[in-house]
Every structure is written in structure tokens, then in C-alpha cells.
Structure 1
Amino acid sequence: MSPLSLDLSPDLFPALTEAQADPDGPGAHRPALRFGDRSLTYGELAATASPLAARVAEAGRIAVWATPTLETAVAVVAALLAGVPAVPLNPKSGESELGHIVSDSAPTLVLAAQGTQLPSALAALERLDIDIDTSAPATSLPSPGTSDPETPALIVYTSGTTGPPKGAVIPRRAIATTLDALADAWQWTGDDVLVHGLPLFHVHGLILGILGPLRRGGSVRHLGRFETAGVARELSEGATMLFGVPTMYHRIAETLPDDPALAKALARARLLVSGSAALPVHDHERIAQATGRRVIERYGMTETLMNTSVRADGEPRAGTVGVPLPGVELRLTEEDGTTAVEAYDGETVGEIQVRGPNLFTEYLNRPEATAAAFTEDGWFRTGDMAVRDPDGYVRIVGRKATDLIKSGGYKIGAGEIENALLEHPGVREAAVTGEPDADLGERIVAWIVPADPQSPPTVDELADHVARRLAPHKRPRVVHHLDALPRNDMGKIMKRALTHD
């Protein structure tokens, strides 16, 4: 692992500063952002974002209507240049959720693309339209309002699965250290061209997918919405990296047998990265077989940004999220939350706890929730359960609240059973939960979307299949057949919605 130098200066985007200093230099003409047929060079981005930054510099806190557009990227860059915290808003959020976020974060402005119709929950906010005018005279890039790396940069709201969404306050320090650690792990440079179609209201699509290329001085091509044809086109035309979530890679895996152009394009990529949820091993193998390229996974959260990743110079092992990133400490703990799990045996399950410069500062206006999220010695309780292989690779087996099943005296992670079920030819999608059992404590329940609804696999067939691959105590005792699994905007399965009447 190479040594890592973390830049904690207030300048998050050195390439923008360089382009501003020399508007006729080669750096100013390098591509920065492209959304469909609209694009900005670094010089144009500086000329567009700098006057907007000057306009919001005294705003205190701003909201950004985070559509997958050039305007959203410019707005967030402008806020970061001004040193003003930005609150990305999910355009698919309902009125009550938006109302909660606006009330909680109290922005003074909402930035949106011209012509965008905003919901009534934002009606009380002053609106500032984002004007992409590359012909405007260039102005100097503002210095951030503070040089303190602890200054809030973004307030990103969690999904709110256990109550109203909480605003995670992400400082400039966390953004810089995470992106620099990923540059080390992925050998990410200014020569890389990233393609993705992720939403821009969360960590994956916005921080990694937009701010990551800009910090490196490289470029990003956003698809607007994910399509395999767009992936093939951009990777065939010079893009070097692809970021996606498991549902996207599943669509790629399904399309590959009938699309040789897609297979050829993926084979040209330097790096294929999946995150936000576990990528099933079955999809890993189908993509690798068709393209010769293996998808690598990384692991992060809104509160921690990125914690681990398979390295570009490491072994791309399906089913793992690699090793801790430079600067990140990671440990597994027993149920008491303090006793460390020392085993590196690929079997002993513990809760992941992390600490390091990648962590958020607090939950906005929620001191009790912030205190509860950390141990007394500063470790963040992720709520994710994992095992560690002998070489330190981390394998996540599920969430503590929904994916840790205690059955017959064993602690079982739902994730490994889901992967085993997906290897059955009769299973298209799978989720695993636990339910009370008088004898076992909890019994394992499988929720299956069958490949052929007219001939779904039976509970005995699936139980035998899992028992052969894992162990008899990990076999499902109950199977429910569904038309589709409930998922959120990021493609994560919403297990709390899996109920059997």
C-alpha cells in the first residue's frame, strides 16, 4: 500500500484554481463535466461557479434541488467554493419528508435549474435559479469562508428507516480525505474519465461521482439516467471508470449475453466499481465471464463516507468490500459493542465500527442521536455486521437490525444466504429475514422472486441448495414467492416492508 498524503487545505479543487489562474492554459480547456450534450471545461466551470459562489457566500446554508443535471453539479461546487453548507434535496421525496428536511436544516435559499417546478414544501424559501452562462466574464474564485477543515460542507439526510431522516453534517475534511484515500486505493488520476448514472442527492453519486473527478482534475460523464447503451457508448469513447449500484450491474449482467458491444466496452474499462449495497456473487461472475473484467466493491455510509475498498492493485474478490482505506481504523465487536472480535476466520460475525478523518461531525440538531452513534472512545457504530477473512478482507453479512439472525445458537448473516439463493437457477431475486421460532429462537425466511413464476422452486429445494453450499443451520425454513422485492431509490431492498399477512 502506497503512503498517503492527505490535503486538508481549504482548496478542494486545485484544477479549478489552476484554470482560473491561467484561463488560456491547457488546464482550463480540459473537460470537467458532461451531462448528455451539455458540458463544461474547467475554465467554463470556474467562470460559471465563481459568480454563483459570490451570490451565496453570505447565505448561511443553502438547499440544492438535486436533479441529475449540470446545474446541480455547478450549484454544489459553488457552495463549496463559497464555504457555505449545501443540503442536497432528493426530487423524489414526498412533501412531508421535504418539509421535515427544510424545517430541520433551515436553509435560506434553494438553488434549482431554471424552469424547474418546485414542490409546495419549498415555497417559503427564496429561490435562486442556476444560470449556466459560459460567455459571462470570468471572476476570481472566492476563497472559502474559513480555512478550518472542520467547516460543514454538506448536510446529507439519511434514508430515515427508523424515523425521520437525520441530517449528517459532513465537513470539508471528510470529503478531502475520502477522495484522496480512494485515489490511493483506485490509482485514480486526472487522466481518468468517469461514467455513471447515479442520483446526485447522496454520497455515491455526488461526492464520489462528481466531486471525486473534479478533485483529481479529471472528468465525469453523467448519463442522466442509467442505460446499458449509454454505458457502452461512453466506455467505447474513452471513459475509463464506471460507478454503479447492484441493480445497475444486474441489468448489465442480464444484457451482456445478447450485447457483444457492451461486453467489449466493459472490457476496455480500467475500473468497474459497485457500491451502496452488496453485489450478488452471481452477477459478479456473469460479468467477469463475459468481459474478462471484475467488478470491485467498496463500503461506505452517509455518516462515514468511504471505509473500505478492494484496491486496484489488489485481488478483486467477489463478495467482499476489500480492506480499510488509508487513514481508516476498522474493528468488529461483539454484541456488547465494546469487546473486539479478534478472529480473522471468515466466520465470526461482529458489528463494524470505524473511526478516522472520513467521519461526519454530527447529526444536525440531534445531540442525543450523535452521542448514541459513537462509543466512548470515538468509534462510530455502523450497525453493519461482517466477518474478516484471514488476509483482512471484509465481508459484510447484513445490517444488525434486519440481517443478523440468531437461530439455534448460531449468529447468521442474511447476506451470505441471499448470495447462495441467487446461485439457484430458479431464483431471480432474493432477500432473507428472520422471524420468531419457539424452538430455534429465530427461523430463516426467504423472500424469492422466481425466474419462472409458473414453476417456483420449493422450500425443500432451496433449503437443500443452501445447506449444500453453506451449512445445514443456514437453510431457509420458510419461503415466500413475490412478483418483486421492495426497493428504495438506490436499489436497496427495504426489508422492513417484507411482511406476510
Structure 2
Amino acid sequence: MLENSPESARTIRSELLRPAPTEPTAYGRLPFRQPAIERIERSDGSFLLRWSDDAAVGLRERPLSADAPTTTVAANVVDWLSVWAAARPEAICLAERESSGAWYSVTYAEAWQQIRRIGGELRRRSVAHAGRHGLPIVPIAMLTGNSVRHALLTFAALYAGIPVAPVSPAYASPGGDRGQLRSLLQVLGPACFYVEERTAFAPVATELGLDSAGLVVGSGPDNDWSALLAGDEAIAQSGHETAHGKALAKVMFTSGSTGKPKAVVMTHAALAAAQAIAASVLEKIPDTQQVALDWLPWHHVMGGNIVLHRCLRMGTALHIDAGRPAPGAIAATVANLRELSPSQYINVPLGFGLLATEMERDPAFATRFFSKLEYLTFGGAALSRDTEDRLQRAAERAVGHRIAICAGYGATETCGPGISTFWPSNGADALGLPLPGVSVKLVPVADRYELRIAGPHLFSHYLGDAQASAAAFDEEGYYRTGDAVQWAQSDFPGAGLRFDGRLGEDFKLDSGTWVHVGSVRARLLAALGSFARDVVVTGENRRFVGALIFIDEAACRTLVPDMAHLGYVELASHAAVRTVLRIALERANTGRRASSKHIKRALVLPSAPSRDLGEVADKGYINQRAVISNRRESISALYAEVAPADVVCAPIDQQTD
């Protein structure tokens, strides 16, 4: 890898990039600003990308108001709550389904009043624990899923200067990884733990030896909510006076998909800048209130920062979705979307695929979904061409035009935003161009580029890990993402960047040849179309590249009539599914005989991905490392001297030497 420094990286030339103009009637009215991105080519082969000075109004602090420019930065993201409490006091701020099925909601005026009282009580409880781990006030750990009270507690803590640390509730669920939870809590050293119900969490607290006095309970018998609402607003206000700038605001853990989870420290300045960056790509804040429905978990940056903080910045009516992007669990999302017509909608590719199936089954559902929609955003994984085409067909039937499908790329370490296609893009692996205020560096690595990011929204360090903190940044202050990218169109850089895999996922065959996992995986997924949920590429220190396939049950059931009633296990072993895989394998290998690009064998995994074993992340994508660790029997079959009958082999005339 080439190293860059101000001294060694001399500018060779600079040019402005503009995405191709969009015909308004093709996609409807889009709310985005038109960018002019400066591309700087440097003598060491690297590139810098950033909004040009004449195209972007600088991000900066200004007086807050409902009509403030989108580039306005608040000192504390929760300060926006007071703006909407004044401008839209009776408008919905947060809503969720009650057990009766009715919506329970909190208005902006109610939220603004409640978070100051809750903040006072939280600060009173937390201040007694000051000084641990070198922090003025230790964090409160949020050990629960998304809820109205979870959101209010988060806003209250941020307002009152108490660090928030959302932790995956899966660790505290039956069968959850207690060892991992214990490890994360040891890093945090929290003074308080927020849970929804005391009874459900009691066994976990006992097992981990947690002090019951530190529990803050939101619901159920013997809860603390009344006590929280009786807090002293003056105490919260006192804490708020220091809750800005470099003060610690939030600690979020990385997913651990390529290693041990790291505790990412986010300051108030970084969170405020991140939200301004995300908003600043819009021409203006809409005059009418936007409606959002979202399930994305708040212990991940996409849900916990981008979505939840967007509610504060935009004055959105955020409806919390109890559905999930999984067969069966998607039903709750569909039911909600039959009532709500979102203004924008964010999901992971798996979720969009399931919704596309429902739109094809019920055109009235598609009409309701698209009726007020401005654009879709996906993240977490690449959107398949098949899913994109199905969504566009549904949109054209429902509202008479295509819908802008925008990619979003960020990381926990960027506190959310980074790169986006803020224009209609056609590309499953599209990433786009940097958002206003973000600077991107592309560093050559063989035939690709490593993506690095700089800006006021970056994290400060990893809690308790000085070595990893130092290694995370290069000598120019850019965060090393570990992701590889390419130009989406080599002859038109205005089309932006495309994802080309995780550098940490790449491996060598036993011949010493490097395999770029991202490109191999994307090629086979494209060949399989809707029949595969995901692909896991194998072959590290082995003689050839292989692939493990998770099938899409709904798509596979359409192959022949007698498959309509079959479950995953029966489908995985069906001859029709193996035929599809054989054809796809041949298609993916066409013109690629090199051992690093040629997939010699593939196997449909005999069971669906397991959440309990960590194979499915909270956002619905597949954890490749966990699958390879758990599916050793399948990998042994894949690399057996004589391939078993259920292993699909590439045609002899395609195989490499």
C-alpha cells in the first residue's frame, strides 16, 4: 500500500465532477442539491474527493430555527427538539404500537418537557459515579430494543451531558452471548443500565453480577418511569451547559464482523456535525412534517444516529417499526406501511426484496407505499439488480414514474454519514460521492483503492484501546475504513464510486494468489438473481475458490409447482435449485479462468442462517466469518477430494489448471 503525506502527495491536477443530469419526470421531484465535487489527483496515485467551495455552503453553527439552512450545526443534536417543540408542539415526535395494536405517540412538546426531567434524574443518579475510567460521568448502557421510552431516555442523557452506550439486546436475550456482553460492559464500566422490564433482565443481571441499584427500568411492574419524570430540570440544564464540543456523547460498538467489537467514542461535536452533513445534501428542510417508519436497531449507527437523530433535525414523525427483514417478521412492517405513507424510506437490501414481493402480490400496497415517497435509501449491503428492477416496476405501476434509489455508506467511526448517491443511481454496488463537509481519500491497493474518510464527524478514539485508535488514522488524519472501492464508471468519474469488498475479507489461496472476496461474491450473487439471499466465499489457504449459498425460499418455491409447500431444508436439496446454481455458476465464471476469480465449486447450505449463532447481523446481512466458523462440515464437503453429489462443480471446460 502506498503511504501518503502532505510532503509526498503533490497535486497533479484538479477537476469538478457532476453526476449525470436527471430528467425530473422520470423520477418525480427530488429534494437534493446539485453537487460539484472536486477531484484532486496526486503524485502518489491517490485521489481526494470533496465538495467544491463554490458549490457548498460551509457547515457552521447558526441560530436554530425550523427554517434554518440545512448546513446549520447545533451545539448538541437534542437542541433541535426545542425548535420543533415551539414550531410543531402538537405534532407527533415518536410513535410505537401498543399491545392492543393502537399507536401510542408522544408529541414534540411532550418530548421536550419529558427529556429535561428525565435528564435531571439520570444526572442525579450518574454523578455519584463520576471519575471511573477517566470519564467525568460514566455512560448509561442501553440494553433494550427500540421503543419510545428508549428514545426519550437517549435524548435526555445526551441533553444532560450523560454519555449513552447502546448495546445489542441480543446479548441479554435467552441464548445470547453473555461472555461478549460481559466484555463490552467491562470496557464501558457503566453506572446505570436501562432495560424495558426488570423481571426479564433479572437473570442476566444475576449471571453477570450487576448491581441492581444501577438498573433503570422503563416499563412493566416496579418501573422507574414516574421517578424519571419527576426529575429536576435545573440539574439537567446544569449538565447541558457542558454537553457540547469535545465532551463525550455516545459510545457505540462496531459489529465485530471482521474482528472483536470496538468501543467507538463519539463527541457532541461529531454527532452534531454528522447530522448537519446528512441534512446538508437537501435543498431545504421540508415545510410539512415528514413521516418515517423505521426498524433499524439503535445500537447500530445507521439506526441510532442517522435515523434517530434525523428525527431531531427534520422534525419528523418517527414511527417505530416492530417488524424485521425476515420471512414472517416482515408482516408487521407490511401492516404498518398499509397505514403510513413514508416521505423517505430506509432499509437493508433484504428488507427491500421482501417488500417487493408483497408489492407484486398486492398492487394496492405498492400504491400506498409510493404515494408520498420521494426516495429510497439502502445500506448495509449491496442491492441486487433483481430487487432494484422489481422495485422500479412496482413504482411505475403505482405512481407512473421510477423512484430514486439512493445508496448510503458510512461507518460507526464516521458517526453515520460519509458517502451517498444523492441522485438516482443504477448500480447494485453503488456508493456515490462524499456528502458536504466530508473529504474522501482513495489510496491505491493493487487494482483497487482503499477508501479513507476525513471530516468533523469522525470519532475521537476507541475506548480502552490506544493501539487500535492510533492505527485507525493515517498521517493526514483520514480514517482508514478498510473498504475497497472502484470508480463506478471508469470513463465517467461523476458516476461516483462503487463498493469492491472489504480488504479484511480478502484471502490467499494455497498458491499465494490473492482473492478479492467482494468482487467474486457480487458476481455470483448477480448470476443467481433473486434465488439467493447471500453468498459466502471460501478458499483461504486452499487450492481453489468455493462458495456457500443461502437460498431465498420464496424465489426458489416458484421454480416448479410442487415446491410451493417446501421449507428451507427441502428446498436446499431439491434438484431444481441445484440446476439454478449450476447455470449461475457457469454464468459467473464466463471469461474468468484465473484461479483468484474462478469459482470451482458451490454448495447450497442445508439450513437457513442462524441469528443465535451470529450468522445474521441485526441489520439482516450475513456475517461471513461466523458462517465459515459454524459451517465446517459443509466446507469439508466443498473441498473433499471427490465432490459429494450435493456440491455443484464448474464445467470441466471452465476449470482452471
Gaps of 5+ in 1: 336-340, 342-347
How far 1:420 sits from its partner (Å)?
4.4
- 1:29-108 alignment runs, 5 A limit: 29-36=90-97, 37-57=103-123, 59=126, 60=137, 61-93=139-171, 94-108=177-191
Q: In the alignment, which of 382, 385, 406 is matched to residue 481 of structure 2? A: 382
- Residue 48 of structure 1 aligns to which amino acid in structure 2? Q
Q: Is the counterpart of residue 357 in structure 1 residue 357 in structure 2?
A: no
Give the corresponding residue for 1:256.
Answer: 359
How far 1:122 sits from its partner (Å)?
6.5
- Residue 161 of structure 2 aligns to which amino acid in structure 1? G
Q: In the alignment, which of 370, 383, 394 is matched to residue 279 of structure 1? A: 383
Do the aligned residues in 1 keep the contact of 2:485 with 2:497 (CA within 8 Å)? Answer: yes
Does the C-alpha gap of structure 1 residues 259 and 31 become closer, same or farther in structure 2, counting only changes over 3 Å? same
How far 1:472 sits from its partner (Å)?
4.8
Structure exhibiting the larger radius of gyration computed from Cα positions: 2
Does the C-alpha gap of structure 1 residues 404 and 267 become closer, same or farther in structure 2, counting only changes over 3 Å? farther
Q: In the alignment, which of 278, 292, 298 is matched to residue 408 of structure 2? A: 298
Q: Percent identity?
A: 23
Do the aligned residues in 2 keep the contact of 1:352 with 1:385 (CA within 8 Å)? Answer: yes
Which has the higher mean CA deviation after the structures are superposed, 386-395 or 356-365? 386-395
Give the corresponding residue for 1:110.
Answer: 193
**For the residues of structure 2 that align with 1:83 and 1:363, how far apart are their CA atoms?**
19
**For the residues of structure 2 that align with 1:157 and 1:18, how far apart are their CA atoms?**
30
**For the residues of structure 2 that align with 1:331 and 1:375, how far apart are their CA atoms?**
11
Q: Is the counterpart of residue 465 in structure 1 residue 587 in structure 2?
A: yes
Give the corresponding residue for 1:129.
Answer: 217
- CA deviation string 1:150-205 (max 9, x = no partner): 22211011223455421100112222222222212355735322211122222111
- Residue 277 of structure 2 aligns to which amino acid in structure 1? A
Report which structure shows greater RCO (CA 8 Å, sep ≥6).
2
Do the aligned residues in 1 keep the contact of 2:295 with 2:320 (CA within 8 Å)? Answer: yes
Give the corresponding residue for 1:320.
Answer: 430
**Between structures 1 and 2, the one with greater helix share:** 2
Give the corresponding residue for 1:481.
Answer: 604
- 1:6-21 alignment runs, 5 A limit: 6-7=60-61, 8-18=73-83
Does the C-alpha gap of structure 1 residues 447 and 84 become closer, same or farther in structure 2, counting only changes over 3 Å? same
How far 1:105 sits from its partner (Å)?
0.7
- CA deviation string 1:399-432 (max 9, x = no partner): 1121467899776452464354344368323314
Do the aligned residues in 1 keep the contact of 2:527 with 2:585 (CA within 8 Å)? Answer: no
Do the aligned residues in 2 keep the contact of 1:296 with 1:318 (CA within 8 Å)? Answer: no
- 1:221-240 alignment runs, 5 A limit: 221-226=319-324, 227-228=330-331, 230-231=333-334, 233-234=336-337, 237-240=340-343
How far 1:397 sits from its partner (Å)?
1.8
- 1:190-229 alignment runs, 5 A limit: 191-226=289-324, 227-228=330-331
Give the corresponding residue for 1:398.
Answer: 501
- Residue 587 of structure 2 aligns to which amino acid in structure 1? H
- 1:137-176 alignment runs, 5 A limit: 139=233, 142=237, 144-146=240-242, 148-161=244-257, 163-176=259-272
Give the corresponding residue for 1:344.
Answer: none
Which has the higher mean CA deviation after the structures are superposed, 470-479 or 82-91? 470-479
Give the corresponding residue for 1:244.
Answer: 347
Q: In the alignment, which of 310, 315, 339 is matched to residue 421 of structure 2? A: 310
Q: Is the counterpart of residue 494 in structure 1 residue 623 in structure 2?
A: yes
- TM-score, normalisation: structure 1: 0.86
**For the residues of structure 2 that align with 1:433 and 1:64, how far apart are their CA atoms?**
35
Which has the higher mean CA deviation after the structures are superposed, 118-127 or 301-310? 118-127
**For the residues of structure 2 that align with 1:169 and 1:255, how far apart are their CA atoms?**
40
- Residue 396 of structure 1 aligns to which amino acid in structure 2? F
How far 1:123 sits from its partner (Å)?
2.5
- Residue 106 of structure 1 aligns to which amino acid in structure 2? G
Tell me how large the CA RMSD over aligned residues is: 3.0
**For the residues of structure 2 that align with 1:315 and 1:494, how far apart are their CA atoms?**
27
Gaps of 5+ in 2: 1-34, 36-55, 62-72, 98-102, 127-136, 172-176, 219-223, 325-329, 396-401, 557-570, 610-614, 637-657
How far 1:212 sits from its partner (Å)?
1.2
- 1:433-448 alignment runs, 5 A limit: 433-436=537-540, 443-448=544-549
Which has the higher mean CA deviation after the structures are superposed, 76-85 or 109-118? 109-118
Does the C-alpha gap of structure 1 residues 235 and 319 become closer, same or farther in structure 2, counting only changes over 3 Å? farther
- Residue 31 of structure 1 aligns to which amino acid in structure 2? I
Do the aligned residues in 2 keep the contact of 1:196 with 1:243 (CA within 8 Å)? Answer: yes
**For the residues of structure 2 that align with 1:239 and 1:462, how far apart are their CA atoms?**
36
How far 1:234 sits from its partner (Å)?
3.8
Which has the higher mean CA deviation after the structures are superposed, 356-365 or 213-222? 213-222
Does the C-alpha gap of structure 1 residues 10 and 300 become closer, same or farther in structure 2, counting only changes over 3 Å? same
**For the residues of structure 2 that align with 1:368 and 1:412, how far apart are their CA atoms?**
27
Which has the higher mean CA deviation after the structures are superposed, 400-409 or 57-66? 400-409
How far 1:50 sits from its partner (Å)?
0.9
- TM-score, normalisation: structure 2: 0.67
